[in-house]
Amino acid sequence: MPQLISTGFDELSLGQEETFERTLTAEVIRQFAVVSGDVNPVHLDAEYAAGTVFGEPIGHGMWLGALVSAAIATRLPGPGSVYRAQQLQFKQPIKVGDTAVVTLTVKELKARMRLVVIDCKVHNQQGTLLARGEAEVIAPAASGRIDAPELSQL
């Protein structure tokens, strides 16, 4: 079983960076629509999407936001993190077949609350910026390891 590693506040440093990536498929779009309730046809209906500025179905912007959340929860600072705030701007759409690469960089550390300000960027496999923003996270008090839970497929 894979392990997740959390980084305690005292072990974090400015400029520390982690990445996380996932590839968008039509099935992922469908599953995200099911769990989120966002059934906008620009995501799900190729005929409808062909008549939009995008010309084809695009992924949900908040799927990118969910990937940022996953990166924080599993990579930096990792398990035990508490998400406090997120600001995110969408720059370009993600399309079926694209791989979203989330890059998290520690921007600021506030010891009193173990608060970490993290710069968040999401690019596709060609380096095109899809989204950027900033998160505030309360880091775990100490580093540790936990087994990643097994998830059934939707």
Q: 0.85 exceeded by the pTM?
A: yes
Report the domain count for the chain: 1
| Tokens encoding 104 | 């998290």
- Give CA separation, 130 vs 1, 17, 64, in Å: 32, 18, 8
Per-residue pLDDT for 135 more than 90?
A: yes
User: Per the domain annotation, does 49 fall within a domain?
Assistant: no
The mean per-residue pLDDT over the stretch 92-109 comes to 98
User: Per the domain annotation, does 18 fall within a domain?
Assistant: yes
User: Per the domain annotation, does 77 fall within a domain?
Assistant: yes
CATH number at residue 112: 3.10.129.10
* Residue 118: domain span: 3-24+59-141
User: Per the domain annotation, does 113 fall within a domain?
Assistant: yes
User: Per the domain annotation, does 47 fall within a domain?
Assistant: no
